[in-house]
């Protein structure tokens, strides 16, 4: 997803560096945050974060590479005064050396860009090197929760699963939303309204 570029986004991100941190600042920030730590990859405008972060407690890091979406998420954090949430407004691929290993109690991936064409499959967030990176960030036994409406992405995620570090604990091809332990992102709301079946995988770090 690429949102229309908004002029206010870059200055707004620059004005809130206590929440929107650049990659160099991440290691020392994360070292000092209250645990448990959670990570959301491709967090969009933050609807999921706004519901889950207060429920989970601890600290919650959002990654979002689209500048305008990242700024919208940040504005939500600031205006709704959501505590314990931080944002890295950049691409997961740039963060390999800045995120701590064996540290996160949970990772969320909601409706990642499906990149449905075969020639683009390496761009998918579930391409095996990215799944390996995400697995290495989780504490052993912790979960990565993935939701998508894309059949292609869902099947590819299972194909790409690095068997030495992630196992499937739940595979729900037609996931019925459970509000007690979950929340809906902007995309989930849109896709459900449009009648799409939602697939969910819960993957455990071995
Ligand atoms: C289809 S949107 C879904 C947004 C939100 N998760 C939701 O469910 O409403 C996918 C989002 O992931 C972001 N994204 C895709 N690849 C990313 C990456 N490698 N690192 C960080 N963000 C990424 C995109 O910029 C986009 O905002």
Testing ligand 1's pocket by substitution, the residue of 95, 98, 113 carrying the most ligand atoms inside 8 A of its CB is 113
Alpha helices in the chain (DSSP H): 9-15, 26-32, 47-56, 67-79, 128-137, 151-160, 186-193
At 93-134, the pLDDT tens digits run: 999 999 999 999 999 999 999 999 999 999 999 999 999 999
In a domain, 9, yes or no: no
In a domain, 3, yes or no: no
What number of CA atoms fall less than 13 Å from residue 137's CA on the CB side?
27
Average pLDDT, the chain: 97
In a domain, 8, yes or no: no
Asked if the bond preceding 57 is cis, omega within 30° of 0, the reply is no
Confidence band for 2, pLDDT divided at 50, 70 and 90:
low
Of the candidates 82, 85, 42, 92, the one whose C-alpha atom is nearest the C-alpha of residue 61 is 85
Name the domain count of the chain.
Answer: 1
Residue 3 has pLDDT above 90, yes or no: no
In a domain, 1, yes or no: no
Distance 65 CA to ligand 1 centre (A): 7
Residue 5 has pLDDT above 90, yes or no: no
In a domain, 146, yes or no: yes
CATH of the domain at 156: 3.40.50.150
In a domain, 67, yes or no: yes
Q: Which atom of ligand 1 is nearest to the CA of 2?
A: 25
Q: Dig out the tokens for 20 from the structure.
A: 């929107």
184: containing domain: 17-205
In a domain, 7, yes or no: no
CB under 6 Å to ligand 1: residues?
A: 1, 41-44, 63-66, 69, 91-93, 110-113, 125, 185-188
Q: Is 81 a catalytic residue?
A: no
Residue 1 has pLDDT above 70, yes or no: no
Distance spanning both ends of the chain, measured CA to CA: 31
What does the pLDDT read at residue 4? Answer: 77
At 26-56, the pLDDT tens digits run: 999 999 999 999 999 999 999 999 999 999 9
Q: Dig out the tokens for 2 from the structure.
A: 């690429």
In a domain, 184, yes or no: yes
At 67-88, the pLDDT tens digits run: 999 999 999 999 999 999 999 9
């Amino acid at each position: 997803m690429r949102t229309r570029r908004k002029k206010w986004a870059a200055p707004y991100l620059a004005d809130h560096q206590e929440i929107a941190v650049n990659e160099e600042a991440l290691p020392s920030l994360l070292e000092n945050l209250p645990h448990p730590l959670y990570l959301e990859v491709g967090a969009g405008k933050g609807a999921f974060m706004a519901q889950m972060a207060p429920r989970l407690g601890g600290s919650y890091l959002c990654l979002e590479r689209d500048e305008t979406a990242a700024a919208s998420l940040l504005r939500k954090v600031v205006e709704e005064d959501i505590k314990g949430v931080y944002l890295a407004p950049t691409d997961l691929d740039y963060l390999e050396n800045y995120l701590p290993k064996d540290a996160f109690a949970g990772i969320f991936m909601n409706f990642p860009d499906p990149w449905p064409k075969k020639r683009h499959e390496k761009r998918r967030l579930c391409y095996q090197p990215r799944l390996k990176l995400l697995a290495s960030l989780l504490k052993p036994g912790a979960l990565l929760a993935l939701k998508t409406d894309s059949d292609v992405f869902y099947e590819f995620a299972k194909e790409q699963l690095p068997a030495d570090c992630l196992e499937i604990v739940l595979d729900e091809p037609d996931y019925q939303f459970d509000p007690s332990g979950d929340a809906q992102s902007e995309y989930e709301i849109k896709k459900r309204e449009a009648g799409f079946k939602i697939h969910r995988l819960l993957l455990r770090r071995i």
